[in-house]
Structures are given as C-alpha cells and as structure tokens.
Homo-oligomer: A and B are copies of this chain.
Amino acid sequence: MSASTATDVTAVVTVLATAAKKASRSLATLTTAQKDAVLRDAADAVDAAADTILAANAEDVSRAEIAGTEASLVDRLRLTPERIAGITDGLRQVASLPDPIGQVVTGKTLPNGLDLRQVRVPLGVVGFVYEARPNVTVDGFGIAFKSGNAVLLRGSSSAAMSNEALVGVLREVLTRSSVSPDAVALLPSASHDSVTALIQARGLVDVVIPRGGAGLISAVVRDAKVPTIETGTGNCHVYVHADADVDIATRIILNAKTRRPSVCNTAESVLIDKAIAAEALAPLMSALQSQGVVIHGDEDGMEPATEDDWHREYLSLDIAMKIVDGLDEAIEHIAVYGTGHTEAIVTKSLQAANEFTARVDAAAVMVNASTAFTDGEQFGFGAEIGISTQKLHARGPMGLTELTSTKWLVWGDGQVRPA
C-alpha cells in the first residue's frame, strides 16, 4: 500500500488529533501572560525565518504557475516580505487582545450557600479547513492558541510547502516555550481523505470550521460527525424601501457590490420597491453600470434573469435586481433566497426599519448601512476567523470568544441535595 491511501491518511490524522487533544489539556491552564509571550515569540520567529518561508512559498507559486493556475489564485497563494509582516503583525495584535478564558459569564450564591460560577474555557481541539492563502495558517493558530485551543490545520495542497514552513516555525517556538508542539499541526493535504478523517474524529476534535466555497462547506457539514460551524456563504440583499433616500440607496448598493466583490458580505441582490422604482431604477442602474456591474433582472437594460440568479452568490461584478411589491414581498423573497448572512434595508420609515429588522432572519440585519460592515474587525473584535451563517453557538463574525465554551464551577462545604 502506498502512503497516500485513505486508511493511512486517516491513521495520520488520528495520531495528530490524539496528540492535539492531549496538548489541549495543558493549554487550558496556561496564563494569559504565557500565551501572549508565545504569540510574540512566534511573530519574531516567523519574521526571522522569512527567507526560508519565502523560498518554500516560491516553490508553491512556481508549481501553481506551471500547472496553469488562475492568476487570482496564484496571487492569493503568494507571500511577499510585506505579507509576512502582515502575518506577524496579526500575531502581535492577537497577543494584545483581551483573553476570554477564565472570564466569569455569570454567577451567584445559591440559597444553600453553594457558590455557582459559569466560566469561559477553551473548546479543546479546533479544526480549520481552508483554501490557498498561507496567512490563514498563522492567523488560525494565533486565534486558536490565544483562546486556549489546540488547532489542526488543513490547508490547500497548493500551499503545502508554505504551510509546512510556517507550521514548522510555530512548532519550534512552542517547544522552546515548553508548550507541547502538538498544539498546532498541519494535516496532509494531498487528498480530501484528510478532511473526511478530521470531520469524523469524534472524541478528539471539538469543532471544525470550514472556510471556503459553498461546495466545501456543504460537504463538511454533510459528512461531519463532529460539530461544525458553517461560514461564509452570503447571498446578501439590499432592499430599497418605498420611502428610501435614493442617493443613500445608490451609495450603499455601490459600496456593497463594488468595494470587494469576492468577499461574502458583498451585495448580490437588490430588491426595489415598486412604489419607488420609477424614481430609483435609472440612477441606480446607471451608477452600477458605470462601475462595470452587470445587472441581472427582468427590466429593460438588464441581462435576462432566471430563477438561478435569485439564488446566486456571484462574488463578481454581477448583481441581481428585482422589483417587489412592498415590504412583505421583500421579506418573503429574502426568506426564500437569502443565506442568512447579511440583509439590508434602505428607508426613512422607522416602522419599515423596525419590521424589517424584526422579521428578517439573518446573522446581521442593516438599516441604511452597507452590507460590507459585517466583519469582525468592523465590529471591534480585533481578530476574525470567519462569519458564521448558522444559528447554533456562533452567528455572524467570530472572534476569540466564539472559540470558547463554558464550564460551571460549584463550590461548597459539604452540601447535599434534599430528596
């Protein structure tokens, strides 16, 4: 049998996950000062190893170019001295963030004298499955480590050399700091088998967070036997209410679509109230088209839309546009086609804003603001590991706190429970 069979890959993942589980128990009791020192040492060590890391990355880039990989993907894969500086700045920033571990969430003294506290604890072992960008390798370690978790990283095979170089540096720093190096491990990336092994490692892995396209996320959620957090898919709508300020609507939609079309908080669909269509449609279409946006819809001057367009997460300079007959139809459309990421209304009516925010079911609901604001950094989290579109455990941008659980501590002096 060759080293790449599914059985062998599963065995490798199990060994790494078992070691991570063991390491996670000691991480849970590190002090904040100890963790921050490791994170700053790791930043220095990555800076110091920049040449080695860049050389490894050059091999990945060269392999990708020879394989004829799309230029935008090669760009995401490529490291530069500036990007390495960005990575190590990120580690230092995480070191400076407040530590969620040990925080007392709630507590009280019960009538029988028992002292009850709910305190934040790490999840244990966190798995990340992600795509080409090697910076996620270090970001993922930083956020997981600060929140007291061991982390299993399953990056893209296209970044294998870069990731090995980066994780090698991180493991050396941990060893030097007398922390188990198994607190971070890189899983094999040659096949999907390591993803399958990771998401089925019950008892070893506490949560898996897939970061990537809809296909990856749904495969992970479908086959997982461990808890997962769905991230990212965003079919975000902007609804231009009958009582909207058309200038504000235009500015918001333009920003939400064109600022960074490839990210999950970009607007993919515009709903225009019938009552304001005559006034709003022309300036809105003209503003979007002047920025090169292709509009899909049923009106003149649009690319004819099919049912598929209402579902699409284009992630490009395309947007779907539909005229709706009032607030109820807008909310109903969003309920049917939205992905629960971010939904926005533009209106001057307080009642419409209240109804929209109360009735629309999404991680973030915006009134007169760009969907681009759904972002951990914008919300003031300091670091973000993704945007959850599920309702359990975490919803919306996820920071350090979202990588924690809680534990109840009950201190007494011999209390027993009456029959």
Contact = CB atoms under 8 A, between A and B. Distances in A.
Interface of A: 25, 28-29, 108, 110, 114, 116, 118, 121, 123-124, 202, 206-207, 221-222, 225, 227, 229, 245, 248, 251-252, 254-256, 259, 335, 353, 357-359, 361-370, 372-374, 378-380, 390-393, 395-396, 405-417, 419
Contacts of A245: 414
Contact of A408 (B29, B225, B248, B363): B363
A317 B405 CA distance: 33
A121 B362 CA distance: 10
A114 B364 contact: no
A407 B255 contact: no
Contacts of A225: 221-222
Q: Which of A202, A251, A358 has the most CB of B within 10 A?
A: A358
Given A123-B392, A227-B392, A408 B358 contact: no
Nearest to A265: B417
A384 to B, nearest CB: 13
Contacts of A410: 364-367, 369, 373-374
A110 B378 contact: yes
What are the 10 closest A-B residue pairs judged by CB atoms, nearest first?
A: A369-B412, A255-B416, A391-B405, A372-B417, A393-B393, A248-B414, A364-B408, A227-B392, A367-B411, A370-B416
Nearest to A416: B255
A279 to B, nearest CB: 17
Nearest to A113: B369
Contact of A108 (B124, B207, B380): B380
12 contacts: A121-B361, A227-B390, A259-B419, A357-B409, A364-B407, A365-B409, A366-B410, A368-B412, A369-B411, A369-B416, A392-B392, A392-B405
